[in-house]
Amino acid sequence: MIKIIGGKYKRSNLVVPTKNVRPTSAIKREAVFSIIESYAYKNSIDLYQNKAVLDIFAGSGSIGLEAISRGMKEAYFYENNPEVLKILKRNCFKICKNNRYVIIEDDVMIFPPKKSLCPVSLIYIDPPYHQYDILKLLL
C-alpha cells in the first residue's frame, strides 16, 4: 500500500497492483507537486480551481488522486490493463466518492478521449518500461 501525502485525503491508503505496476514513490510525488505548486505560486497561476489532471498510464491512480486531494476539481485516468483497472476503480471510489474522476479504459494512443474534458492543468505520463515509444505519445 501507498498513501496520499498531501491535502484533504492525506494519509489515506491506496491499494497497489502486485504485478506490472511501479507506483510513483511518495518522495517523487512530493517533489513533483512541490515543483509544480511553487511554479504556479510564483507565476500567479491557479493550478487547481476548476481544473483537471490527466494521469496517463494511471496504475493505482496515485498521481491523479494526490491532485484531487490537493484541490484539483477532476481527474482523468487512462488505463487499459484489466487487472490494474479493478484496483484503480477501487482507489478512485475510496477517495472520490462524489464522481470527481473519469476512468478512460482505452489505449492512450487513441487521443483525445471520447469523453469531454474540463481544462487540464497537469498531465502526468509514466508509461511501463519498454512498452511505449514516448516520443509518439508526445507528438
First to last CA, the chain: 34
Which CATH number characterizes residue 102's domain? 3.40.50.150
Percent of the chain at pLDDT > 70 equals 85
Q: Which residue's entry shows cell 507506483?
A: 23
Count the domains in the chain.
Answer: 1
Percent of the chain at pLDDT > 90 equals 54
pTM to 2 decimal places: 0.87
pLDDT digits (tens, 9 = 90+) for 53-99: 999 889 999 999 999 999 999 999 999 889 999 999 999 999 987 77
State yes or no: pLDDT of 137 exceeds 60: no
Q: Which domain holds residue 14?
A: 2-138
